[in-house]
Structure 1
Amino acid sequence: MVKEALGDGLSLGADISYVDQPSPKGTANAVEAAKDVLDGEDRFLVVYGDNYYGPRAVSRLVEMSRRASSDLLIGAARVLDASQFGRLTVKDGVVGGIREKSAKKGAGEVIAGLYLMDQSIFPAIVKTKLSTRGEFELTDSIQSLIDQDRRFRMVLLNDQEWLGISYPWDLLGANRLALDLMESARDGMVEPGVHVHGMLHLSRGGVIRSGCYLEGPVFIGEGGVVGPNAYLRPYTVIGPGAKVGAYCDVKNSILMERAKVPHLSYVGDSIVGAGCSLGAGTITANLRFDDASIVSMVKGRRVDTGRRKLGAIIGDNVRTGINVSLLPGVKIGPGAWIGPGVTVGRDVVAGARIKR
C-alpha cells in the first residue's frame, strides 16, 4: 500500500528506498531491518506508519535537534486517556522512563511514534528481549539506553500535529485534520448547476454532474464521479474512481478507491472500503435514539468510541442489496454480501453471506 501510494518518491521531490521486514517481530525488529540502509547516517528519523502526523510534526523534531544536538528525541502528545499508548515519565523535558500500554486510564504524555535517533539504537536492539506480547519492542530498546544515561528529550506535539490511530473510526478524525489543511483545486469537470460552498479539491478526471450541492471541505480523487443531484457534506472524501450517484447524501465519510454508492443512499460518519457496491436505499444509521456515545465490539469487548455519531465501517469489496440498513457502529468484514432488506445490528465477518 505504501509503495503504491509513494512509489520512488520522485514526484514528491524525494528518493525513497524500501526494506522488507521478513516477519512482523515488532518495532525494534523493523528498525533493525533498516540497519544496512542507515549505515553511515549520524542521525535519522523513525516514524510509525499507523498514526496521523501534521506537516509540522517532523520539522519540530529537526528544529529541536539543531538546538539540542547531543540529545536524542521522542515525539510525544498529551492525551486524556493514556491507556492505549506507551506512557512517558518526564522531568524538565527529559524522558526518565517509558511504560507500555496498561489498563490504567488517565491523562498523560504518551509516545507519538516519532523519534530522532542515532546509531546507538542498534546495539540496544540486539540486547532487547522478547516482550510479553511476543515482539521486540522499540520502547524497550530506548529504555535500555535511558538506563545507560543516554538522554532523550521530549518534543510535545499539539492536537493538530498528531493523532493516534487505535481503532478504525479514528481515521475519521485523521481525515478531518488532513482536510482542514487541504488546498483548493478544480482539475476535473464541473457541470452547470452545481453549487459549491467551502473548500473543494477536485482531482484530474473527476466529474461533478448537474444538480449537486457540496459543502466543503470535500476531496474528490482522480476519476471520481459525483451526481447528478447528489449532496456531499463537510469532511467527505471520494476516492479515486469512486462514484456517488443520484439522490445520495454523504457526510463526514471516506469512500475508498472504486467504491460505489450509485443511488438513493445515505452514508454518514462512515468508512466504505475499496471496491464496495452499496445497493439502492442502503442507509448507514449514525445516531442512537438516546444520543449516547456509540459502542463497538473489538476483539470480543465493548469499546466506547467516544463518538455521538458513527455510521458503519465497511471493508473492501462488500456488496449490499437494496434497502439495507446498517445500525450505528457496525463493522462489515471484507468480501461480505448483505442481501436485500436486511437490517444489520451486529458485526459481520469477512466473506459472510447474510440473507433476510
Structure 2
Amino acid sequence: MEERLLYIIEDDDYGNFGPLTVNRAVYQLRLGIDLLHEKWTSFIPASETRLTIRNELAGIASEKNGMRCNDFRGVASSGAVFVNGRYIADSSLAETIRSLDKAQILLCEGNLVAAFVPAGSAEASDLERLKFWGYGHFKEIIKKIPKKDVIATEVKHIWDFIRLNPEQISADFERITQDAGGASIAESSLVDAGCTIHNRCAVRIAEGVKIDSQVVIDARGGPVYIGFGARIEPHTRIEGPCYVGENTMLVGGKIREGCSIGPVCKVGGELEESIILGHSNKFHDGFLGHAYLGEWVNLGAMTTNSDLKNNYGTIRVDLGEGQQDTGMTKVGSFIGDHVKTGIGTMLNTGISLGFATNVFGAGLVADKFVPPFCWGSSGNYAEYDIERAIATARVVVERRNVAFTAEDERVFRAVFEESLEKRAHFIDSSKSDRG
C-alpha cells in the first residue's frame, strides 16, 4: 500500500455545504478533531497524498494544504487509491480499502466511496493523461472496474457536520490518544491548581497549554482535547466532547458539549454544538449554537443566533437554491469565511451568511440566505465593494502574521464574480420588501 498514491477527491455535491465550500472542498472542513482529509491520511498510508478539486480552486488548495492538486502524473506506474472526501474514514472502511489488491470500486447506496486503480491498467494510463479534474469524466474512465457495496458514513449537507460532530470528537480522541499512549496532561503545560477537571482520564492537554484558576473541564459527558499552545482564562467551563485547537484562547463563558474550535481562535460567551474554523473570533458575550463558522470570521459583541423554533418544528435552511427541510429541530447558522457581524446582531434560525458578507444594524437578520459580498442589514443591503473587501481581508490576515497571497486575492475575485447574479437579485428583493 505504501507505494500507491492516495487521492482525496471532490465530487459534484459541494453545493450542499453552502457558504463553507465556495472557496474550499468539503474534505477541507473540520469534523470532530480532524479535517475530513486528515482522517483519511491517518488511516491509509501512501507514497504521497494528493487532492482533486474544482480547477478554479486548485491553486489555493495546494497552497493551503501543501499537497499537489489535480496532478495525475505517476498513476500509471504506481497505481492509486481514490477516496471520496465527503465520506468519513474509519478503521473498518480503511481496512477494506487497504486490502484491495485488484481493481475495485466501492459503492454505498450507489455513490462512489473509493476506488483502487492498479499500476499498468488501462484506467491508470487514461487517468495519467488528465490535465484537469472533472468528477464525471473520472467516473467515465473507471466505469468498467468491478464494483462492490460497502457500509460507509457520508456528510450529505452542511448540517450533517453539526449532527455528527459530538460522536466524531469522541472517535478522533480515541484514535489519537491510542496512538499517543493515552489521555494525558503534558509536562510543559501550566494547569493552575485552581482548575477543576472532572474525569481526568478523558482529558488530553497538549504541550504549551496554559489554564488559569476558576476553569472547569468536565469530561464526564465526553472527552476534551486541548491543543498545543491554547490558553484558557478564568471563568471558562468546557464540557465534553470538545476540541480546543492549537493556539486558541477561551476568554470566559460556557463551552458546552459538541464544540470544535480553532486553531488560533478567540472565543467567549456561550457556545453549543458548533464548529469554528481557524482564525475566527467570537470574543464577546452572546450565544452561538448548532452553527458552523468558516475562517477569518469576526462576530461583534452580543451576536447571537437562534437554533430552535418556538414550535419545536424542524428547521429549513436556504443555501442559495431554495429552502430545504433539515429534519432537525436544532440548527443555528452557517457562516462563510471573512464574514463580520456588528454589535447586537441577532441571526435567524438556519441562516446562511455568504463569503465576505458584513451584517450590522443591531437587530434581527430575518433573511435565511445572504449571498457573498453583501453589506448592510435586512431590507437595506448593498454590494460590498470588492477592492474594499480585499483591502480589509489583507489587514485582518496580515495582522495575525499570515500572508494574504495572490491566490487568496484571486479566490476573492472569483467568488465575487460567481455570485454577481444572486447578489443583485437578493439586494433588489430586499429593497422591494422594505417597500
Q: TM-score, normalised by structure 2?
A: 0.60
**Map of 1:322 onto structure 2:** 343
List structure 1 runs of 4+ shifted beyond 6 angstroms: 19-22, 123-128
2:241 matches 1:241: no
Q: 1:74 aligns with which of 102, 105, 115?
A: 105
Q: 2:48 aligns with which of 12, 16, 23?
A: 16
> Equivalences for 1:336-355 in 2 at 5 Å?
336-346=357-367, 347-355=369-377
Residue 112 and residue 236 in structure 1: after superposition, are their counterparts in 2 closer, same or farther (change >3 A)?
farther
State the Cα distance separating 1:47 from its structure 2 match. Answer: 1.1
**Map of 2:248 onto structure 1:** 224
State the Cα distance separating 1:35 from its structure 2 match. Answer: 4.3
**Map of 2:63 onto structure 1:** none
Select between 117-126 and 286-295 the one with higher mean Cα deviation.
117-126
Q: Take 2:54 and 2:339, find their aligned partners in 1: how far apart are those partners?
A: 30
> Equivalences for 1:140-219 in 2 at 5 Å?
140-143=140-143, 145=144, 151-154=146-149, 156-157=150-151, 162-181=152-171, 182=173, 183=177, 184-187=203-206, 188-198=209-219, 199-219=223-243
Gaps of 5+ in 2: 1-23, 29-34, 57-68, 178-202, 379-435
> Equivalences for 1:279-294 in 2 at 5 Å?
279-294=300-315
Q: Take 1:280 and 1:127, find their aligned partners in 2: how far apart are those partners?
A: 53
State the Cα distance separating 1:33 from its structure 2 match. Answer: 5.6
Q: Take 1:294 and 1:223, find their aligned partners in 2: how far apart are those partners?
A: 34
Q: Take 2:217 and 2:80, find their aligned partners in 1: how far apart are those partners?
A: 44
State the Cα distance separating 1:185 from its structure 2 match. Answer: 2.0
> Equivalences for 1:308-319 in 2 at 5 Å?
308-319=329-340
More helix by share: 2
More strand by share: 1
2:103 matches 1:38: no
2:123 matches 1:138: no
Question: Matched residues, percent identical?
Answer: 19
**Map of 1:335 onto structure 2:** 356
**Map of 2:95 onto structure 1:** 59
SS in structure 2 at match of 1:222: coil
Residue 176 and residue 73 in structure 1: after superposition, are their counterparts in 2 closer, same or farther (change >3 A)?
farther
**Map of 2:83 onto structure 1:** 47
1:74–1:111 CA contact under 8 A, matched in 2 = no
State the Cα distance separating 1:59 from its structure 2 match. Answer: 1.8
Q: 2:277 aligns with which of 256, 259, 265?
A: 256
**Map of 1:113 onto structure 2:** 113
2:72–2:128 CA contact under 8 A, matched in 1 = no
State the Cα distance separating 1:355 from its structure 2 match. Answer: 3.4
Q: TM-score, normalised by structure 1?
A: 0.72
Query: Deviation string for 1:27-51 (max 9, x for gaps)?
Result: xxxxx9654312323x431112333
Equivalent residue letter for 1:117: V
Q: Take 1:250 and 1:170, find their aligned partners in 2: how far apart are those partners?
A: 18
State the Cα distance separating 1:21 from its structure 2 match. Answer: 7.4
State the Cα distance separating 1:260 from its structure 2 match. Answer: 0.9
SS in structure 2 at match of 1:192: coil
Residue 337 and residue 126 in structure 1: after superposition, are their counterparts in 2 closer, same or farther (change >3 A)?
closer
SS in structure 2 at match of 1:205: coil
State the Cα distance separating 1:299 from its structure 2 match. Answer: 3.9
State the Cα distance separating 1:15 from its structure 2 match. Answer: 5.0
Equivalent residue letter for 1:323: G
Residue 137 and residue 267 in structure 1: after superposition, are their counterparts in 2 closer, same or farther (change >3 A)?
same
State the Cα distance separating 1:18 from its structure 2 match. Answer: 4.6
Residue 204 and residue 341 in structure 1: after superposition, are their counterparts in 2 closer, same or farther (change >3 A)?
same
SS in structure 2 at match of 1:169: helix
Residue 20 and residue 355 in structure 1: after superposition, are their counterparts in 2 closer, same or farther (change >3 A)?
closer
1:35–1:122 CA contact under 8 A, matched in 2 = no
State the Cα distance separating 1:305 from its structure 2 match. Answer: 1.4
Gaps of 5+ in 1: 25-31, 78-108, 129-133
Select between 195-204 and 164-173 the one with higher mean Cα deviation.
164-173
**Aligned pairs, number:** 293
1:52–1:174 CA contact under 8 A, matched in 2 = no
RMSD over aligned Cα atoms: 3.4
Q: Take 2:375 and 2:170, find their aligned partners in 1: how far apart are those partners?
A: 39
**Map of 1:86 onto structure 2:** none
Residue 13 and residue 138 in structure 1: after superposition, are their counterparts in 2 closer, same or farther (change >3 A)?
closer
State the Cα distance separating 1:295 from its structure 2 match. Answer: 0.8
SS in structure 1 at match of 2:148: strand
Query: Deviation string for 1:305-353 (max 9, x for gaps)?
Result: 1221100001111111121111111100121111131311221121211
1:312–1:329 CA contact under 8 A, matched in 2 = yes
Residue 232 and residue 73 in structure 1: after superposition, are their counterparts in 2 closer, same or farther (change >3 A)?
same
Q: Take 1:350 and 1:21, find their aligned partners in 2: how far apart are those partners?
A: 21
Q: 1:277 aligns with which of 276, 283, 298?
A: 298
